[in-house]
Structure 1
Amino acid sequence: MVFNRSLLARAALGPAAGAVLMAFMAAGAIPAYQMYSVGLAAVYTIVVLSVGLLAGWSGIWSVGHPAFFAIGAYFAAYGSGHDWPLEAVVLGAVAAGAALGAFLGYAGARFSALYIALLTLAFTTVTLELVNRWSSVTGGDQGVPVVQLRSALGFGTLLGGGTEAQYLAVGAAAVVLALAVPAAASGLRMRLIAAKSHPLAARTIGIAPEAQSSLSFAVSGACTCFAGVLLGLLTRFVSPDPFSLTFGISLIAACVLGGVGTILGAVAGGVYLTWNPSLSSAVGLPQPVVQGLVLIGVLLFLPGGVVPFLSKLARMLTRRTPRGSRTELPSPAEQMADLAPPGPPSGTVGGPVLLHLEHVSVSYGGIRALEDASLTLRQNEILAVIGPNGAGKTTLLNALSGLTGNGRVTGTADFAGRPLLTARATARRRLGIGRTFQHAEVFSELTVEENVLCTRRRITTRDRAEVARLLHSVGLADVADRLPGELPFGLQKRLDLARAMAEHPKLLILDEPFGGLDAAERALLARHIRRLHADGTAVVVIDHVLDDLFSVAHRVLAFDFGRTIGEGTPDTVLQDPKVRSSYLGSVDARTRPPEHVGDRSMLRLHGVGHTYGGVVALRDIELDVRQGIVLGIAGANGAGKSTLAGILHGSLEPTRGDRETGGTVRTSLAPEGRALFKTLSLRENLEVAAYAAGITGTPLRERLEETVRWLPARLRDRMSDSAGGLSGGEQQMLAIARALIAAPDVLIVDEPALGLAPALVDEVYDRLATLAHDGLTVVLFEQLLSRAMSVCHEVAVLHEGVIAAQGRPGDPEFAALAEAAYFSGGLDTAPTTAAATARTPQVN
């Protein structure tokens, strides 16, 4: 942690305010009957602070803090009755609170927020039951007095209820607030928030979420037990009544009222808890009613809390710079001058072996996501891994970074001469492995600078200087104090890369780094990768943008169905028939669609584009779906197929452009991944879809009978079975049937063959062809180009959000054009000819 004048000044505000308050108390400026309330407010401030920071920094909402409060108070009572010194009582209470809090935090880290709340609820219930039954220590329902506590360090005797206890409470609250200020600027807070925001990404930088939860809960429990000791000294008597579950709910309400995770908010919450009884008496309503009304008002009108609202208002009133004067975001072109030049990676591949995998498999139950993978990576090598969706690429990266979850990993892997597969995910960062994610999984509540700083356990001036240099190198220096959510997707990708580059890893694992970036951003990223290689970092990268991927790779490894199917240099790997087949598929004899289709336009898209935040998913789509046609949309994973499917269906509104229908056209979508209600029966899945379409009564029964007849016999006989018990192919046919029950004019099917065995794929496609022969218009989204060419009247090839080629499968010229567009596409136009073939990376 770096202490500067500003930080020290803010930390001194708490003790200064406490000293002023105690001076007023000593001078008699505060009436004697209010002195107790001031001391009580100080005690409550400590408790609200411990609950609020636990929730704000760690994301843990606890209703177990009344139990910690009670433990501290009963420590004071027991110590006073057995002549314990004050220091022993405080140390014992704090130690007990820390131990119990650490246990609850570690145990609760495996559960959701709801289950953690239930766990802490159970802890409070058990504690209060012990208080009632352990009458020899606690006095049971009758309570126990707090007589006096003598200080072993010569600070005198504290008599319960005396002014000494009130001064001690105010002074202790001031010290706790002072300690909270540097804690808020420390690496501890950053690591806690990182673990809360994205546990998987946190593990890749060496942060164990369960350890962070345990630590934060331990500190919170210790502080609350300390406050309980102060409460015992202040009240002179301890009974179970103040520690009820109602008080736990009041604590949460006070945190929300003041502002969760804020230090001044804890002061406001402590004051509110103290004077809420007086407010209730003044308005003549019960305390729970007043508390509920206040909480509802805050949630409706000040959802962030009173203190954050006032802080924001103060910043708006004192702002000196015009709203439009914020730092301009750096463009990719401005960052290219200092980076490695374009072109293939320089240098020959040599040097010692850094990573060696042998027969590595990953299975989830009976599903093998990765099977018998073997590879060797040298220290100065960039290895590209390619393959269609579901090939096992991301599973391979997860196995390298330790993020396989409940998967069973077998085989051997050595990294820099050390076994890798037995190392925890958090330990692999220390071994020298950095990792990025497909969707730039940044920590949204931390600034750009803090996203990188949180990789350090203790932050020094040198760390901040190194992080500043790193952010400058990736073009993020001008936005270091901004939150990631304020940045476009391209800059978030750079932040993800910078976080992985921190601490100079030996191996950098990049998961689809080019996805969602425009051409300039992809060129900049390619230069960053080449610079990393020049600095001695080995790189393993997967992506579907083959042009940019091949431009940085020394060697390419191809996967399909979890197995290695090919290997070669970027300019030769696509010549391998197995590799080409994995992307393009092979044409098999199956039912052909009908020859004659209508001319009526059912759906038409004009200039349609769509973005998710700063990510461009579709650009300038022109598409006409005619009646009776089977239209295939082919493209690699990430090309924008599912986005286009949602827009055609009407469930997704395009960012720009128009979607037109030829009159009243009903559409149905069988989405990628099926999205079945697996706990419902087959019949109930169909009925839910019918109800959503407004079909009830007799029409529902008729539609059910017609739709069930379309299903194969083995499903017709199992309509009462759970959908989760079906095989993948059976689930796909149920998903299509669910879409059919609404009697659509246009059926949209997204990736119907995903994850199916070849025999089941043929069955699904034969049934879709039967629907086309019955006159249904079908839009088929398919990853394998040859499959789309074999079953469709027309095929449009989608590449990086653009229709790069469109035509009829029977046209020989279109077949070559479509294959070229699938891999490389065209940047400037929609259906292209020579432009598409010009960018093909040696696919012929």
Structure 2
Amino acid sequence: MSVVSRSNLARAALGPLAAAALIAVLASGAIAPYQAYSVGLAAVYTVLVLSVGLLAGWAGIWSIAHPAFFALGAYFAAYGSTHGWSLELVMLGAVGCSAALGAFLGSAGARFSMLYVALLTLAFTMVSLEVMGQWIGVTGGDQGIPMEELHSALGLGALASAGTQAQYIAVGVAGIALAVAALARPSALRMRLVAAKSHPMAARSIGIAPEAQSALAFAVSAAFAAVAGVLLALVVGFVSPEPFSLALAISLIAACVLGGAGTLSGAVVGGAYLTWAPTAAESAGVPQQILQGVVLIAALLFLPGGVMPFLGRMARRLLRRPAAQPPASVQLPEETSQPVPAPAATAPELLRLDEVAVTFGGLKALEGASMSVRAGETLAIIGPNGAGKTTLMNVLSGLVGGGRVAGSARYRGKPLLKTRATARRGLGIGRTFQHAETFPELTVLENVLCTRRRITAQHRARAAELLDRVGLAHVADRYPAELPFGLHKQLDLARALAEEPELLILDEPFGGLDATERTQLARQIVRQQQRGTAVVIIDHVLDDLFAVAHRVVAFDFGRPIGEGEPGKILDDPRVRSSYLGEGGAQAGLPLRDGTEPAAVRLDGVDHTYGGVTALHGVDLTIPRGSVIGVVGANGAGKSTLGRIVHGVLPPTRGGRTVDNDLRAALVPEGRALFKTLSLQENLEVAAYAAGIKGAVLRERLAETAEWLPPRLRDRMGVAAAGLSGGEQQILAVARALMAGPDLLIVDEPALGLSPAMVDEVYGRLGRLAHEGMTVVLLEQSLGRAASACHEVVVLHEGRIAVRGEPADPLFLTRAEQAYFDGPDDVRAAVAQS
């Protein structure tokens, strides 16, 4: 049974109590008849605005279809009153038809973007209103149709329209509608709607189908709009097409924005606004459209969340108690710090993959993936960026998207690949995400509860117990935005554990955490091992990963290349090579004499993202004319360092000194090309951004085109999307050259490329170095950087672990150790922090 707290019941009772009080005032005659009519009309519009506002606020759908549902309810009432229908039959017919049509629109619109949903609902309204206008036998066409008395099948007597009785009913129904919405607010329905709106992929991972939620939300919203239409017919006493124009749709959206989409009090404000805006415009002597436009613009500029949310925030600031202090770190029994022994070879096999492959068009993201996981086993998946690890995680959780999946996967002996993503949660599969994709509009407790279709007192007790177990009990009523990054990760894990999964999939859970947080997370994983949960985990923090893993499988270029115990897997030459690359001598770099001036100097640079430390204490000098390699595993801080060197990202702390008139350009990871533009247009856009035009642009374009290989130079009019990955990387470098930089920073130049294309890209970067350009390469492969750079800097967890010249025979040995573990002094400092 769903649990409703006393506070929720008290809030829900406010609507009916306020309605009863207002009815008493109306019955006393204290309000003039014309104003009483306006009060009844305001009640009607409150229900209508509520239907639109909750759909927008809870489900994220802005509808232009609601004038049609509003009209449908009104015409149902008018037609039914002239054909002897009962009030109950009118309500059931209007609500049923509108709900069915709303479910259709919600289901169809879920496949499109917000723009197409708006166009779809606009088209629906235009067609519906045209049908109502032309169906003269039912609607009366432009002449309209009068209301007559409606009799109740339940013996409630005859209900006259356009009188005080109709106004009382409108006010009473509005109060009931607000009560229903108040009771729905703490329900699983609202939580799952908000979850599907906030992050569809994460919602699917916990069994929520966004399409189904959109259909349900639209159906309920349309039903409320139809009820408002029936009330309108009763209050006005006549139904014609005029009130249901497209202008009403715009006014409804304006009313929702003004009051506050998704809020109950905002619906009351919006209903009052729609009712009295014409009178206010007439009193001000301005057209109603102008007044509405000014009000809407003012609300968007100064109160973007709406009047009522603004007032609510002000009240919370005045009344809010100090934030709860977190308790001491969760202390688990000492024995839980050691991993549970691996299950015996005879333990039942929970998951088996055979030759699983994933392709996106012509790109093979995963190929020949075969492995098994036994009940209670923790399997670690390692490999450099782009190795196919996250794609494998998405295969297991059914979130591959547009990729084509082949091969076989069996879970508990049953086929898995054909199972919908939303059904895998029910099979006992839970997962976390690399960036902790929580639902920002739900509290911490609601983020855990939304995994349930119905919420009972027992579910709430279990969720509270789980939050206490992972150290989140003190922030249960907070929103994710109020939490530091480490608690975000804990919340993501708690949501994955909410229904005690048999298989737990963890996507880089240690990334961005400090040493204490990583220790606590490791203990949580061990606790799941004690419960018999199988864990598949990927991460780049190898020491913490290996501390909890029983077995490790290494991937590179989408294929498994090695398997073994955590302490031995890195001894495999193929695995080390996948991380470090093939070493080699420097390939004809321009000579340096050590007197080159510094192009960029960083002194004591730190950088944090929302409490996550990406860089710490970085001192780096980049001499002019040098090729500097910055090497590290994914998450080591390379991209952040590159952006700070470029100047596009200011450091949180520390200084950046730049040589006079230095022009820098950055080639970002993933290239970030404009795929629909041609090669020439991509280059021209870069030139425009640098302020280059006219004859200088044409000259620079000719120089850059000459730098390109002939096969690209001859295809300048081809869209960038038609190039191979290597060709796109070369184009991305060429685009950066359009600014005429002195310093070029290239982030992951070899990512996803074949060896031949890697050689070509590096060869062209070498040509730039010989021409005197300063180049910074952000690389995962130590071997590639060593063969192409004057100096290599190894980053480990945001710190410079070691730096030196590849010509030093001892450097590669030190660099390999630092790549995975960091130097001893850094590791000790981190352990003590």
TM-score by length of 2: 0.97
Q: Which moved more, 1:819-828 or 1:104-113?
A: 819-828
Instruction: Verify: 1:826 aligned to 2:815, yes or no.
Output: no
The answer to whether the 8 A contact 1:747-1:777 is kept is yes
* Residue among 717, 720, 723 paired with 2:717: 720
Query: What letter is aligned with 2:136?
Result: S
What does residue 167 of structure 2 align with? 166
Aligned to 2:330: 335
The answer to whether 1:811 aligns with 2:816 is no
One-letter identity of the residue aligned with 2:550: H
> Which 10-residue stretch deviates more, 473-482 or 671-680?
671-680
Aligned-pair RMSD on alpha carbons?
Answer: 1.6
Aligned amino acid, residue 302 of structure 2? F
Correspondence for 1:662:
659
In structure 1, runs of 5+ residues without a counterpart are: 840-844
- Contact 1:340 1:527 (8 Å CA) reproduced: no
Q: Does 1:110 align with 2:111?
A: yes
State which of 630, 633, 636 in structure 2 corresponds to 1:636: 633
1:216 corresponds to: 217
Task: Find the aligned partners of 2:699 and 2:352 in 1 and give their Cα distance.
Answer: 61
Letter matched to residue 280 of structure 2: L
CA 1:636–1:140: 2 relative to 1, 3 Å = same
5 Å-filtered alignment, 1:707-746, equals 707-746=704-743
Q: Name the CA distance, whole Å, in 2 between partners of 1:620 and 1:56.
A: 44
Q: Distance in 2 between matches of 1:318 and 1:405?
A: 46
- Shift of residue 411, structure 1, vs aligned partner: 1.4
> What amino acid sits opposite 2:404 in the alignment?
R
Distance, in Å, in 1 between the alignment partners of 2:333 and 2:444 is 21
Q: Which residue of 2 aligns with 1:842?
A: none
1:93 aligns to 2:94 (yes or no)? yes
Which secondary structure does the structure 2 equivalent of 1:753 belong to? coil
State whether residues 330 and 476 of structure 1, in contact with CA within 8 Å, keep that contact through their aligned partners in structure 2.
Answer: no
Q: Distance in 2 between matches of 1:725 and 1:354?
A: 42
Quick check: 1:517–1:615 contact (8 Å CA) kept in 2? yes
State the 1:445 CA deviation. Answer: 0.7
Q: Which residue of 1 aligns with 2:354?
A: 358
Residue type matched to 1:218 in 2?
A: A
- Note the C-alpha offset of 1:160: 2.2
The 8 Å contact of residues 159 and 166 in structure 2, kept in 1 or not, is answered as yes
Does structure 1 residue 539 correspond to structure 2 residue 535?
A: yes
Instruction: Write the deviation string for residues 430-469 of structure 1: whole angstroms up to 9, x where unpaired.
Output: 0000000000000111111110011111111111111111
The answer for the alignment partner of 2:599 in structure 1 is 602
CA distance in 1, matches of 2:257, 2:692: 45
The Cα shift of 1:827 comes to 7.1
Q: Report if aligned partners of 2:343, 2:374 keep a CA contact under 8 Å in 1.
A: no
Q: CA deviation at 1:303?
A: 2.0
Tell me how far apart the structure 1 counterparts of residues 437 and 334 of structure 2 sit (CA, whole Å): 25
Distance 1:515 1:680 in 2: 35
State the distance in 2 between where 1:671 and 1:745 align: 17
**Is 1:383 paired with 2:384?**
no
Which deviates further from its counterpart, 133-142 or 784-793? Answer: 133-142
Contact 1:353 1:416 in 2 (8 A): yes
Find the counterpart in structure 1 of residue 504 from structure 2. 508
Q: Please tell me whether residue 122 in structure 1 is matched to residue 123 in structure 2.
A: yes
Q: How does 1:141-180 map to 2 (within 5 A)?
A: 141-180=142-181
User: How many residue pairs get matched?
Assistant: 828
- 1:682-729 per-residue CA deviation (whole Å, 9 max, x = no partner) reads 111111111211222222222112111111111111112212211111
Q: Are the aligned partners of 1:340 and 1:530 in contact in 2 as well (CA < 8 Å)? A: no
Task: Measure how far apart 1:348 and its partner are.
Answer: 4.2
Partner of 2:277: 276
Deviation readout 1:725-775 (Å, 9 max, x if unpaired): 111111111111111121111111111111111111111111111111111
Residues 345 and 553, structure 1, Cα contact 8 Å, conserved in 2: no
Counterpart code for 1:667: A
Deviation per CA, 1:779-838: give whole Å up to 9, x if none: 111111100000110000111111111000011111100011111113754xx9xx89x9
Is 1:297 aligned with 2:292?
no
Using the TM superposition, give the Cα deviation of residue 5 of structure 1 relative to its aligned residue in structure 2, in angstroms.
2.0
Measure, in 2, the Cα distance between the counterparts of 1:69 and 1:621: 63
Post-superposition offset of 1:294: 1.3
Aligned to 1:261: 262
Q: Distance in 2 between matches of 1:828 and 1:30?
A: 81
Deviations 1:479-509 (A, max 9, x none): 1111111111001100000000111100100
Deviation at 1:97?
Answer: 0.8
SS in 1 for 2:23: helix
Structure 2: which amino acid aligns with 1:773? H
Q: Does 1:326 align with 2:323?
A: yes
Matched to 1:372, the amino acid is G
- 2:668 maps to 671
Q: Is the 8 A contact 2:332 2:523 kept in 1?
A: no
Which range moves more in the overlay, 55-64 or 25-34? 25-34
Moved more, 153-162 or 653-662: 153-162
> CA offset at residue 338 of structure 1?
4.2
Name 1:611's counterpart in structure 2: 608
**Cα distance in structure 2, aligned partners of 1:128 and 1:793:** 73
CA distance in 2, matches of 1:612, 1:630: 28
Distance of aligned partners of 1:406 and 1:339 in 2 relative to their CA distance in 1, 3 Å threshold? farther
**1:557 alignment partner, SS class:** strand
Indicate the residue corresponding to 1:25 in structure 2: 26
Shift of 1:339: 6.6
The answer to whether the Cα contact below 8 Å between 1:442 and 1:492 also exists between their aligned partners in 2 is yes
- Structure 1 residue 654: deviation in Å? 1.2
Matching residue's letter, 2:194: I
Q: Within 5 A, what are the aligned runs for 1:773-812?
A: 773-812=770-809
Task: State whether residues 353 and 372 of structure 2, in contact with CA within 8 Å, keep that contact through their aligned partners in structure 1.
Answer: yes
Aligned to 2:432: 436
Matched, 1:409 2:405: yes
Aligned-partner Cα distance in 1 for 2:355–2:404: 13
How far is the alpha carbon of 1:234 from its aligned partner? Answer: 1.6
What whole-Å deviation, never above 9, does each CA across 1:74-132 have from its counterpart, x for those lacking one? 11121112111111111000001110111111111111222111111111111111112
Alpha-carbon distance in structure 2 between the residues aligned to 1:667 and 1:175: 63
Q: Distance in 2 between matches of 1:180 and 1:732?
A: 53
SS of aligned partner of 1:336: coil
Match of 1:73 in 2: 74
Work out the CA distance in 1 between the residues paired with 2:170 and 2:298.
31
Partner secondary structure for residue 40 of structure 2: helix
Q: Distance in 1 between the 2:525 and 2:201 partners?
A: 23
- Name the residue aligned to 2:416: 420
Counterpart of 1:299 in structure 2: which amino acid? Answer: L
Given that residues 343 and 375 in structure 2 are in contact (C-alpha distance below 8 angstroms), is that contact kept between their aligned partners in structure 1? no
Counterpart-to-counterpart distance in 2, 1:633 and 1:346: 38
> Is the Cα contact below 8 Å between 1:590 and 1:766 reproduced in 2?
no
Contact conserved, 2:132 with 2:141, CA < 8 A, in 1?
yes
Name the CA distance, whole Å, in 2 between partners of 1:590 and 1:631. 12
Determine if the alignment matches structure 1 residue 760 to structure 2 residue 793: no
Q: Is the 8 A contact 1:340 1:528 kept in 2?
A: no
Shift of 1:347: 5.2
Map 1:244-255; keep pairs closer than 5 Å: 244-255=245-256
- Displacement of 1:636: 1.2
CA contact (8 A) 2:59 2:197 kept: yes
User: How much does 1:330 deviate?
Assistant: 4.1
Distance 1:353 1:711, change over 3 A: same
The alignment-based identity, stated in percent, is: 65
After superposition, the Cα gap between the structure-2 partners of 1:190 and 1:340, relative to the gap in structure 1 and judged at 3 Å, is: farther
Q: Amino acid of the residue matched to residue 99 of structure 1?
A: A
Q: Secondary structure at the match of 1:335?
A: coil
Which residue type is aligned with residue 367 of structure 1? L
Q: Shift of residue 345 of structure 1?
A: 3.4
Task: State the shift of 1:179 in Å.
Answer: 1.0
Give the counterpart of 1:685 among 666, 682, 685. 682
2:186 counterpart residue number: 185
CA distance in structure 1 between the partners assigned to 2:261 and 2:545 by the alignment? 44
Distance 1:165 1:64 in 2: 26
> Matches of 1:312 and 1:747 in 2, distance apart?
47
Are residues 1:623 and 2:624 paired?
A: no
Q: Which range is displaced more, 129-138 or 376-385?
A: 129-138
Check if 1:345 corresponds to 2:373. Answer: no
